[in-house]
Amino acid sequence: MTSIRYLKPLKKGDQVAITAPSSGVERELHHLLHKAKKQVERAGYTVREGKSIWTNHKLVSCEKEQRAQELMDFLLDDTIQAIIPPWGGHFLMEILPLLDWEALKAAEPKWILGYSDTSTLCFAYTIMTGFASAHGTNYVDLSAPHWDPITKKWTEVLGTAVHETISQTSSETYQSSWEQAFENPGTGLYFDTPTEWKTLSSKGTQFSGRLIGGCLDTLHHLVGTPYGNARDFIDRYCREDGVIWYLESAELTAAGIYRALWQLKMSGWFEGAAGILFGRPGDYQPVDDFEMIDALHAVFADLQMPVVYDADIGHLPPQVTLVNGAFATVKVENGTGKIDMTFK
C-alpha cells in the first residue's frame, strides 16, 4: 500500500499564504481580511497576501487563469508552509485543469486549509498527489477577536509530526445561524445551540480508517473527472486501513443531499468504507416530509456501516480540523464525539 505523504509540521514563524482560488472578498468586507491577518500574526505566523483576495466579480475573485497562476506560485514557493483561502465559493473546479499536477507532485507539499469550495481543492490535491491536506476553518473566520477551542485547534493539527497522534473532541455548543455573525462581522462566531453527534443505528459507535471528504455540494461534481477518482485513491492509500468519508452540505435541500449521495454511491465511492461522518447541514431545508435523515437512511442502510451525523464539520461552526489521508478513530458516545488522528 502506498503511504500518504505528510507535510512538515507548521511552527511559529512559518509563512502562511492567503489566496482566493474560488471567491474573493468584496471591498466592504476587507476589514475581515485585516483582522484575520492580525490574529494569525498574533498566533505567531507571518502572513503573505495574494492579489486575488481583494476582489470579487461574478462569484469569483478574478479570471480562472489568474487564480490558478497565483495558487501555483504559492504552492511552488519554498518560503511558504501553508495556504489558507479567505473562504469558499462556487467555481473552484474550473482551475483544476489549469494546475501543473506533475510539478506539484515533484514539489515540497504545502498545507492547504479550508472548507466549503476550498475542500474541492483539498480533495483534488490529496487525490492527485497523495499529499495530506486539511479540512477546517477558513481565513475569514479567523478574524474573530478570540478563537474558540475547536477552531484554534487548526494550529495544533497542522503542527502535528509524522507518527504523532492528535485528539479532538466535539463542541459543547454550535452556531445554528449566520444571522448574528453577518450583522456583526468580525466579532466572532455565535454559539447558541447544544451540540449532539448522532448515529443512525445506535446511541454510540466506534470505527477507524483513513479520512477523505469535503463539501458534498461541490465534490459530487468531480465524479467522472480526473480529479474525482476516489476509487483509485482508496485502492492505493486505504486498502489495508479502510476509509472514513466525512461530508457536509452547504446549500442542498434534503432531496439534493439524497441525489448527491446516491451519485457518489453509484460511483463506488463508499464501497468498503469503514464509516461515514456527516456534518450539520448549512442553508438546509426539508422537502415536504423528506428530511436529511431520510436521505442518509436511503443511501447507507444497505451498506451496513456506522453513520454519524450532525458532527462538527462544515457550514455551522465550530468544526474540527480533519486531515485528508490521516488514519483516524472516531468514537461517539452519549452525543459526544472524539476523533484521534495519527499521521502514519
DSSP state of 305: -
List the domains of the chain with CATH numbers: 15-161 (3.40.50.10740), 173-342 (3.50.30.60)
Distance from C-alpha of 144 to C-alpha of 188, rounded to nearest angstrom: 4
Shortest CA distance to 215 belongs to which of 291, 138, 297? 138
Per-residue pLDDT of 35-64, as tens digits, reads: 999 999 999 999 999 999 999 999 999 999
> Is the full-model pTM beyond 0.95?
yes
Contact between 273 and 305 under an 8 Å Cβ cutoff? The reply is: yes
Distance from C-alpha of 260 to C-alpha of 280, rounded to nearest angstrom: 16
Whether the pLDDT of residue 284 is over 90: the answer is: yes
Instruction: Please state, for a pLDDT cut of 70, what percent of the chain lies above it.
Output: 100
Radius of gyration of the chain (CA): 19
pLDDT-derived band at 84 (thresholds 50, 70, 90) equals very high
Residue listed under C-alpha cell 475542500? 119
Distance from C-alpha of 123 to C-alpha of 120, rounded to nearest angstrom: 5
Q: What is the pLDDT of residue 303?
A: 94
Average of per-residue pLDDT across 226-248: 95
Distance from C-alpha of 109 to C-alpha of 325, rounded to nearest angstrom: 14
Distance from C-alpha of 327 to C-alpha of 339, rounded to nearest angstrom: 10
Per-residue pLDDT of 119-167, as tens digits, reads: 999 999 999 999 999 999 999 999 999 999 999 999 999 999 999 999 9
- Which residue type is seen at 106? A
Whether the pLDDT of residue 1 is over 80: the answer is: no
